[in-house]
Amino acid sequence: MAFRYPGGKKYIKSNHSKVTDTPARFANRGMSLEQDINETNKHYNATGKAVIHKKPTPVQIVNVDYPKRSAAKITEAYFKQPSTTDYNGIYRGKYIDFEAKETKNKTSFPFGNIHPHQVDHMKQVLHHGGVSFFIIRFSIVDETYLYDASHFIWWYTEQTQRKSIPKQHIEENGHRLAIKYAPRVDFLDIVDHVYYS
């Protein structure tokens, strides 16, 4: 199926896109980051702690093939608008907005699948007093960090000769997230400490 951005530009998947390893491949390492965060958000919503949801990607379906009467296959679709970040919601009276990414890289977080309009969106969230960050999982070493958007923005806009952020910087300036049963990735515990103390 062919996806296109507004204006007709064809979407090409980056080599540094989100890791989609199945739970079977990393059986002892749990679910994918997106699954972990979705389960965490369900827990937060069910317990009344926060209202945070994954943003749907707006898509305009253009062509559909009907190989059988009982089956339909989408063969061409367009992104209605560029996506911003993966998740947003409200917690303790503040707007929360964040992006979740996994990488197989052991020593750095590549910019790869982060687009300029996403960075601009995060800048706007910070400008208006919202909370914006990344949740980054280094899947090979099974480490997950909450990393403030302001750090990422600095690397992305000021260190233009680089294509990634060193893992050491994320370790020193981010916050390691423990994987638990429920909530699975308790990022709001870190949000309390970093943004509300």
Which residues fall in the annotated binding site for Mg(2+)? 84, 86, 99, 118
Four-residue CA torsion sign, 18, 84, 82, 57: positive
Binding-site residues, in ranges, read 84, 86, 99, 118
> How far is Cα of residue 103 from the mean position of the Cα atoms in its chain?
11
Gap between the Cα atoms of 122 and 95, Å rounded: 12
SS3 category, 29:
helix
User: For residue 117, which amino acid is it?
Assistant: H
Gap between the Cα atoms of 159 and 65, Å rounded: 46
